[in-house]
């Protein structure tokens, strides 16, 4: 399908909406960069450019850290440092995106099945949702790095989410994400995809994911599906 902007074409057959978490449902950008910078300072003694981290954002933490570590022992030590710092400053730095709570509530009232597909661990995912006033109970599926499936951009976690929300037709699903890994995973799984431009990445970075829809703000999800 060709890339379209909001208002072009029809998504009237959609009945399930899957979301990425970081950069899509919750604004954890500063939290993630703070944890990254702290970890690099502790273990490397210097901080590589933020772009060195952002290029793989959306992949599991262990995968990202391996790119900076000298081996598995250092990777594990980095993970401990990252997670501890993340936990210490989490509630100070994470925040909801404007309009996201209303968007999710309106989709629920509209009868849509909702799920989350994230490369984050389950406990931290739940903490982030609750810190942003998004009830985990609103989502029939919460697929995290703790689930025994390959990670995005593999379609495995998207397939698992569709199974848990009891959606048999992937084409009737819209996967909303802010990274190219989200878009590639959704496309490989057979869903339609929407690029969330309110996250840290712009059109240039996300174009490789060939999204069906570009969204500038969360409320446009509702405008597309509940005109």
Contact 69, 78 (CB under 8 A): yes
**E strand or H helix that includes residue 173:** strand 173-177
C-alpha distances in Å from residue 78, one per residue of 66, 84, 98, 142, 208? 9, 10, 32, 26, 30
Contact 18, 187 (CB under 8 A): no
| Calculated CA dihedral for residues 44, 48, 52, 58, nearest 10 degrees | 60
For tokens 């959606």, name the residue: 167
Reply yes or no on whether 20 is catalytic.
yes
> Residue 170 phi/psi, 5° resolution?
-60, -30
C-alpha distances in Å from residue 191, one per residue of 10, 123, 136, 161, 201? 14, 27, 22, 12, 21
* Residues listed for the chain: 227
Catalytic residue among 20, 22, 147, 212: 20
Which residues are catalytically annotated?
A: 20
């Amino acid at each position: 399908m060709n890339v379209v902007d909001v208002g072009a074409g029809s998504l009237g057959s959609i009945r399930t909406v899957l979301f990425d978490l970081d950069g899509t449902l919750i604004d954890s950008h500063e939290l993630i960069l703070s944890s990254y910078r702290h970890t690099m300072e502790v273990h490397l003694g210097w901080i590589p450019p933020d772009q060195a981290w952002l290029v793989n954002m959306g992949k599991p933490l262990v995968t990202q850290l391996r790119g900076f570590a000298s081996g598995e022992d250092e990777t594990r030590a980095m993970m401990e440092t990252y997670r501890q710092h993340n936990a210490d400053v989490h509630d100070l730095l994470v925040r909801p995106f404007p309009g996201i709570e209303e968007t999710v509530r309106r989709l629920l009232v509209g009868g849509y099945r909702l799920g989350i597909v994230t490369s984050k661990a389950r406990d931290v995912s739940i903490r982030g949702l609750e810190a942003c006033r998004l009830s985990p109970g609103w989502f029939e599926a919460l697929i995290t790095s703790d689930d025994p499936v390959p990670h995005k951009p593999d379609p495995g976690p998207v397939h698992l989410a569709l199974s848990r929300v009891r959606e048999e037709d992937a084409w009737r699903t819209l996967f909303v994400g802010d990274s190219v890994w989200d878009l590639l995973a959704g496309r490989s799984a057979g869903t339609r995809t929407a690029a969330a431009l309110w996250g840290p990445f712009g059109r240039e970075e996300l174009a490789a994911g060939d999204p069906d829809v570009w969204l500038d703000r969360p409320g446009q999800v509702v405008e597309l599906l509940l005109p």
